[in-house]
Structure 1
Amino acid sequence: MAMPGVRQHRSRSWGLVVLAALLVIGTGLAVAAYGLNAGKKASVLAVGESIAKGQVIERDDLVSVSVSGVANTIPVSDIDKVVGKTAAVDLVEKQVLTDAMVTSTPTPGVGESSIGLSLDPTRVPAAGLEAGDTVSVVAVPGADASGTGSKEVESAIDSPEILAANVLVYAVDGETTANGAVFLTLVVPANDAARIAAYSTAGRVAVVETAAAEK
């Protein structure tokens, strides 16, 4: 005759074995499901040909690729929502598009102009500038201005003229010319663009950083 305590102990042991087996099976199924989902590829939009920052995206610029594990991608079915938007950053061939890479706001916008400046390194911040920074464009005396006592020089020093205040640095050329010039593209009020261009051509422009790009 079996002892009651022994039967109860065996029943409890079998229960633990069954529970452990169910846990193992459940874990295996969860891992398998995760593996299947992780490896599942989706058809998303990618860049067919390089697109410069600020350029309007056209249908022919885009291609379809199959990827997995990439966040914030744009499904191929949303291509009509992308065509006509502006590249927010420089895009290279075969790069997978994400939401942050495109914008509905064109650059330059209404009432704005893009202007290129070629500046002596002494007329930009020594720490350098990058796209997204904010600067003010300042008029400086020309190279042919007479000595430091001239009215033009004194006026420029005492009351410097701001040609454009708090404007966006749209792009900075990573290279310089043989004479060390720094190339900047600024987005300025359209009404100020021609005047800034004239001052720049005459070598009479400097820029002062007023705010760094948001990180």
Structure 2
Amino acid sequence: MTTHTAPADAGRPTGRPVPRPRPVSPPRTRRRPALLALGVALVVVSALGAAALFTAFSGTERVLVVVSAVDAGQPVPAGALAVTDATVTPDLAVVPAGELDAVVGATALVPLLAGQLLSPDAVGEGPAVPGDGRSVVGLPLSRTQLPATGVQAGDTVLVVDTPQAGGDPPSGVPAAIEATVLRVAVDDVDPSLVVVDVVAPVDDARRLAARAGTGRIHVVLTDGVALQRAD
């Protein structure tokens, strides 16, 4: 008895292609327009908030800057100031550019240095120099009679009596007169000679003038811009 095995293609329709299985696509996630819009709005609000904070704490303004030094007690000339754009923080006091006309002619209450932004407290209706009961006296000094750091307008100094050249130092504390530096100028003929104008009460100014004539004085810097610069 002979057994016949059916061929592998048995039972399939002849002449027709075998269908291939279709790939299954992942399920689509439905996007909710409302949530998408809310996300975009939050991003925009965050960006605007950061910009507002930056502007509040650091903004660029047109302000006044000192371009030419002005001694304390002197009127501020128009040429000493200019307008500039500067980044201003809340803790920085400045004078807006629009107040230029009001500042010109005002009194410099402290020395104004070239390059610094003008502060509202630096100018005002201060007393004219030298002021009531005070006088200005010029002290002709060699550079060895001054600190190596120098002195400048606004500094507080002590003008100290010194002994004669080659003499013994005093046994006690030498006499001294306190004064405020008004102006410093180098002699045009002799550059080693510096003339320091100081302001002091009238009686002290007379004593300073008499002592300056002897040449036996030395200027000691006690407080002021020059001392801070040296530190």
TM-score per shorter chain, which class? 0.5 to 0.7
In structure 2, the CA distance between the partners of 1:187 and 1:21, relative to structure 1 (3 Å rule), is same
- Write the letter of the residue equivalent to 2:196: L
Tell me which residue corresponds to 1:190.
202
Question: Could you tell me the TM-score, scaled by structure 1's length?
Answer: 0.59
- Look up the equivalent residue of 2:139 and give its one-letter code: L
Residues 167-193 of structure 1: CA deviation (Å, up to 9, x unaligned): 223445589975633443322222222
Q: Is it true that 1:85 corresponds to 2:106 in the alignment?
A: yes
Equivalent residue number for residue 123 of structure 2 = 102
* Other-structure match for 1:3: none
> How much has 1:118 moved relative to structure 2?
2.6
Distance in 2 of aligned mates of 1:128 and 1:170: 13
Per-residue CA deviation, residues 141-165 of structure 1 (Å, 9 max, x unaligned), is: 455xxx74xxxxx6x7235652513
Unmatched tracts of structure 2, length 5 or more: 1-26
TM-score by length of 2: 0.56
C-alpha distance in structure 1 between counterparts of 2:148 and 2:84, whole Å? 44
Q: Is structure 2 residue 65 aligned with structure 1 residue 52? A: no
How far did 1:56 drift? 1.7
Deviates most, 14-23 or 62-71: 62-71
Distance in 1, Cα, partners of 2:183 & 2:131:
16
- Contact 2:139–2:195 at 8 Å: present in 1 too? yes
Q: Deviations over 1:109-148 (max 9, x none)?
A: 33222333232333333454454443221223455xxx74
Aligned residue for 1:151? none
Q: Cα RMSD (Å) of the superposition? A: 4.6
Indicate the residue corresponding to 1:18 in structure 2. 37
Q: 1:68 to 1:176 in 2, by over 3 A?
A: same
Q: 2:126 is paired with a residue of what secondary structure? A: coil
User: Deviations for 1:179-210, whole angstroms, at most 9, x for unmatched residues?
Assistant: 63344332222222233123213312212333
Q: Residues 100-139 of structure 1 correspond to what in structure 2 (within 5 A)? A: 100-106=121-127, 107-139=129-161
Between Structure 1 and Structure 2, how many residues are aligned? 193
1:51 touches 1:57 (CA, 8 Å); kept in 2? no
State how far apart, in whole Å, the 2-side matches of 1:211 and 1:36 are: 38
Instruction: Give the aligned residue type for 2:220.
Output: V
In the TM superposition, what is the alpha-carbon distance from 1:22 to its structure 2 partner?
A: 0.4
- Residue 23 (structure 1) shift: 2.2
Aligned to 1:158: 171
Greater relative CO, 1 or 2 (CA 8 Å, sep 6+): 1
1:201 and 2:219 correspond: no
- Offset of 1:21 from its aligned partner? 0.4
Q: CA separation of 1:192/1:23 partners in 2, compared to 1, >3 Å: closer, same or farther?
A: same
2:193 corresponding residue in structure 1 = 181
